[in-house]
Structure 1
């Protein structure tokens, strides 16, 4: 089996490590990639082809793991070349998934939940999602439904909570720091939230700061999709990230 990647960021790098099988070959391309991405490809056990079109043609499973704003364009450009499953793992709204489904006949909607480098869980939905359940041998995989878009909905529900919470943590910690009470702030929260609360909170804050552009795009996807919902906190979180 051949698994191809369109894009080779953190998600792709860690999937190569997790799906460890002599029966699976990984391929990608360095076409129009940054120096950093090319270096990451060299460090991974991945065969490099001349173009992403070649990757799409040869893949039994083609994985798109890019940015939310680039997901539809990637699907339009390369989804038409694959006869295999097209697994979209981008943090995008169900509307974007539905649009991708117009261009890719073998789409499976996917969502990686948790830290991709530490025991993550893969949720899949779509009428071909059963064909990916063999991945349970390498990564905990759950089928949501036969409807493409359901995995993305679950991912958005989670993001409503986690990204809004991250923005609140950033602001609370900043206020405490400005008053020279940051250490004490985390200590009193740990009394009710658990001993590892400070460690997890600082990790969440750092991850948010280091990926603020991508997380802002994900919040925009939420706002654009749930137009009939009251998203006061989500909009406030987006404003905080944009600051």
Structure 2
């Protein structure tokens, strides 16, 4: 089986490490990729083809893990060359997912929940051919939600609306605590109700968000695009906060 990647950031790189099987061959391309992505590919030692068109055509499973804004364009450009499963792992809206479904034959809508670099993250999937990916359960926890592409898109955006809005509040509170030289005390007092691992998890969230504020802001924009009925006050505030970085 050949598994191809369009986009080779943290998600793709760790999936290639987790799916440790002699029966799976990984391919990608460095076409138009950044220096950091090319470095990731070189370190992973997977097969590199000249173009993504060739990657798409050769793959039994093509994984799109790029960015929310690029997801639809990637599907339009390469989906028509995929005869196998097209697995989209981008944090995109239901509207974008349904648009992608118009351009690929076998869309599976997916989301990785939990740290991708952990030993056993959870892959949630939906779509008519989602059950064909249950073999991946040998390498990570796989849960099929339904045969309806888009169900996972809604769930992952709901999760993101909670986690990213909460993280924006954490950043704001932490910054105020720093100004008062009370950051350690801040984590200590909140840990009394939120648990002993609150500081560790919070700092991880804050660090990850501040390393990728543009990417996180794009995900919030997808949430607003999908769900906005004039009530997303907190999500819009979180987006405003992230746009400051």
- Bin the TM-score by the shorter chain: over 0.9
SS of the aligned residue for 1:152 comes to helix
| Alpha-carbon distance in 2 for matches of 1:162, 1:45 | 34
Return the TM-score normalized by structure 2: 0.98
> Conserved in 2, the CA contact under 8 Å of 1:16 and 1:45?
no
Alignment of 1:7-156 (within 5 A): 7-118=7-118, 119-156=120-157
Q: Report how far residue 25 of structure 1 moved.
A: 0.3
> Conserved in 1, the CA contact under 8 Å of 2:91 and 2:219?
yes
| Alpha-carbon distance in 2 for matches of 1:31, 1:63 | 16
Q: Report how far residue 229 of structure 1 moved.
A: 5.7
- Match of 1:4? 4
1:7-56 CA-partner distances (Å, limit 9, x unpaired): 11110000001000001000000111111111110110310001101100
Q: Report how far residue 192 of structure 1 moved.
A: 1.4
1:181-235 CA-partner distances (Å, limit 9, x unpaired): 1111111111111111111111110001011100000000000110226111000
Alignment of 1:150-229 (within 5 A): 150-228=151-229
- Greater mean deviation of Cα atoms: 221-230 or 51-60: 221-230
> Conserved in 1, the CA contact under 8 Å of 2:82 and 2:105?
no
Which ranges of structure 2 fall in alignment gaps of 5 or more residues?
none
> Conserved in 2, the CA contact under 8 Å of 1:90 and 1:111?
yes
Moved over 2 A (4+): none
> Conserved in 2, the CA contact under 8 Å of 1:59 and 1:84?
yes
1:92-113 CA-partner distances (Å, limit 9, x unpaired): 0011000000111111101111
| Alpha-carbon distance in 2 for matches of 1:55, 1:215 | 28
Return the TM-score normalized by structure 1: 0.98
Which ranges of structure 1 fall in alignment gaps of 5 or more residues?
none
| Alpha-carbon distance in 2 for matches of 1:234, 1:73 | 25
